[in-house]
Amino acid sequence: MSVLLETSLGDIVIDLLVDYAPKECENFLKLSKIKYYNFSPVHSVQQDFSFQTGDPLGPTAPSSDGGSSIWGVLGGAAKKTFTATLHPKLKHAERGTVSMATTPHPTNPEVRLAGSQFIVTLGDHTDYLDGRASVFAKVVEGFDVLEKINAAITDKEGHPLVDIRIKHTVVLDDPYPDPSGLRAPSASPPPSKAQLATVRIADDADLTEEVDEEAAEKKRREAEARAQALTLEMMGDLPFAEVKPPENILFVCKLNPVTTDADLELIFSRFGTILSCEVIRDKKTGDSLQYAFIEYEDKSAAEAAYAKMQSVLIDDRRIHVDFSQSVSKLSEVWRSGENAKRQRTGGHGGGWGGVEGLEKWRKYRHEDRRADRNDKYGLVYGDEEMRGRHARQGDRPERDDKDAGGEGSSRADDDRPRRQDGGRGRGGMPDSRRRSRSRSPRGGGSYRRDGGGDRGHGRRDDGQRRRDDRYDGKDRRDRPRDRGSSYNDYRRR
């Protein structure tokens, strides 16, 4: 009864002592049969003493549970361990002795429990392990592999810096019947993601290879750029991560602030037809930011301009010309195309990367998209827009003259000079209160004194005048309350 272990350093053949440790031998054979030990790391290497393996993840993995017996794999966590056999005739007397690693029973220290991990001795007379590990097999082939493991460079915990792992297990002879539910895989399974995450230095890595630091830095930057481009694609800022800037657009910088769009277009037009020429300017001040984008109809015209216009003197400034690295033009075309397609098909997907909600999080919006909004909302305001917003926040909303029943605007009082008596009109009422009542929703007309109406009234329609004529000569208190009467008349009542 033998098992072949194919490791990253070579093959090891183990003969099992089934007459002395039948439980340990059955557990080891069945775990090897289901490829449980595949990609298990060799750890806890102690020179001229022993090494340990058998945990699929190893002790450095946070999610490692230490391994499980074959009965725990098939029957659950309750059977994860089994009682180990400590035969008095089996000792750790020679190199290549194989034994199951054990732990004390939680309630009975004299009983030791075993799981899947096993120990292989690297020296003779390692009797320290007697009574602590359950011997069940011996190495018969592969002592050169044991020498390589013994000479491996390790950290202070005994973990090899270069991975040493069990690649494959082959059962050469198995006298035990398979437990219920055991299914041997038809092929060796690949390592899991959790196992790959425990790799420090791969066993097949070429450690003698000279690394070009400049090439490694370039590779790192390219990988970082690809990751950033993918992020921008997910956010909807790029149509796709592999997008490239157009080859017919030039970037011109180091311009004189006095250079205008027309100047540049006139100078660069001798190389071909120009579709657009724009000097980028500050949004608030309108001052030139001293760089521009020039779009040619033909790619060859852009190449000719790039070759001829480098360091040319324009308005006493030597300009710098390069091909544009911006993809904003392509992004706008993509977004517009997606939106147009969405409108034609009646779909609900957004033009920003296919997700409509992502548009809400964009910090800057194109001007033509902002033009459709009534409140001109955005993160950047112009001077006129700011004054308008402050005015709306400082005053209450004005009522329309037609709705208020009057012809004049209630804002007219704001432009009048203040009175010497502190802004108080007749009856001791401040102008501010009279103005506030002019916007009161109770009255249908304006209470403002505009000088052209009756003393106690604002402007009135013909129906109101006829009602006043009916009560001429009568006491004012006998009149019905008039919606157009002034505040002073209301006080006299």
Distance CA 39, CA 57 (A): 8
pTM over 0.75? The answer is no
- Count Cβ neighbours within 10 Å for each residue of 66-86 and write b for 16 or more, e otherwise: bbbbbbbbbeeeeebbbebbb
Q: What's the whole-number mean pLDDT along residues 93-103?
A: 94
Tell me the per-residue pLDDT of 324-350, one tens digit each, with 9 for 90 and over. 877 666 656 655 655 544 444 444 433
Same topology for domains 2-196 and 249-326, yes or no?
Answer: no
pLDDT in tens, 432-473: 444 444 444 444 444 444 444 444 444 555 555 555 555 455
Give the range among 6-15, 265-274, 454-463 with minimum mean pLDDT.
454-463
For 164-188, write each residue's pLDDT tens digit: 999 999 998 888 899 888 888 888 8
Q: What is the mean pLDDT of residues 281-293?
A: 90
pLDDT at residue 46 in the model: 94
Confidence check: pLDDT of 309 > 50:
yes
Q: Which CATH architecture has domain 249-326?
A: 2-Layer Sandwich (3.30)
Please write the tens of the pLDDT for every residue from 51-69: 999 999 998 888 888 899 9
Task: Tell me the percentage of the chain whose pLDDT exceeds 90.
Answer: 40
The arithmetic mean of pLDDT across residues 110-127, rounded, is 92
Q: What is the DSSP string of 47-94?
A: TTTEEEE--SS-TT-TT------HHHHHH-GGGS-EEPP--TT----S
State yes or no: pLDDT of 359 exceeds 50: no
Token pair recorded at residue 133: 């590990």
Q: Which of 87-91, 261-265, 469-473 has the lowest mean pLDDT?
A: 469-473
pLDDT category, 424, cuts 50, 70, 90? Answer: very low
**Domain segments of the chain as ranges:** 2-196, 249-326, 365-392, 401-492
Q: Is the pLDDT at 397 greater than 60, yes or no?
A: no
Q: Which of 82, 66, 73, 90 is nearest to 16 (CA)?
A: 90
Catalogue the long-range contacts made by 255-261 (C-beta closer than 8 Å, 24 or more residues apart). 255/279, 255/288, 255/290, 255/291, 255/292, 255/314, 255/315, 255/317, 255/319, 256/290, 256/314, 256/315, 256/316, 256/317, 257/287, 257/288, 257/290, 258/288, 258/315, 259/288, 259/314, 259/315, 259/317, 261/292
Q: What is the pLDDT of residues 156-165, one digit of tens each?
A: 999 999 999 9
Q: Round to whole Å and give the CA distance between 424 and 430.
A: 4
Is the pLDDT at 220 greater than 80? The verdict is: yes
For residue 446, the model assigns a pLDDT of: 43
Q: Across residues 139-161, what is the average pLDDT?
A: 93
What's the whole-number average pLDDT of the chain? 75
Do 265 and 295 form a contact (C-beta atoms < 8 A)?
A: no
- From 328, 327, 310, select the one nearest 319 (Cα to Cα): 310
User: Mean pLDDT across the stretch 76-87?
Assistant: 89
pLDDT in tens, 23-55: 999 999 999 999 999 999 999 999 999 999 999
Of residues 135, 51, 45, the one with CA closest to residue 99? 135
Contacts of 426 (CB under 8 A, 6+ apart): 488
Residues whose CB is less than 8 angstroms from the CB of residue 273 and which lie 6 or more positions away in sequence, other chains included: 296, 297, 298, 301
The yes-or-no verdict on residue 384 having pLDDT over 80 is no
Query: Rounded distance, CA 437 to CA 161, Å?
Result: 86
- Going 317 to 321 to 326 to 332, the CA torsion angle's sign is positive
Residue scoring higher pLDDT (139 or 389): 139
Q: Over 307-324, what HEC string results? A: HHCCCCEECCEECEEEEC
Q: Are strands 320-323 and 249-253 parallel, antiparallel or unpaired?
A: antiparallel
The answer to whether the beta carbons of residues 264 and 252 sit under 8 Å apart is yes
Q: Report the SS3 class of residue 455.
A: coil
| Mean pLDDT on 207-232 | 80
| pLDDT at site 332 | 62
* Model pLDDT, residue 173: 86
Across residues 265-281, what is the average pLDDT?
Answer: 91
pLDDT of residue 251: 92
Q: Architecture of domain 2-196 in CATH?
A: Beta Barrel (2.40)
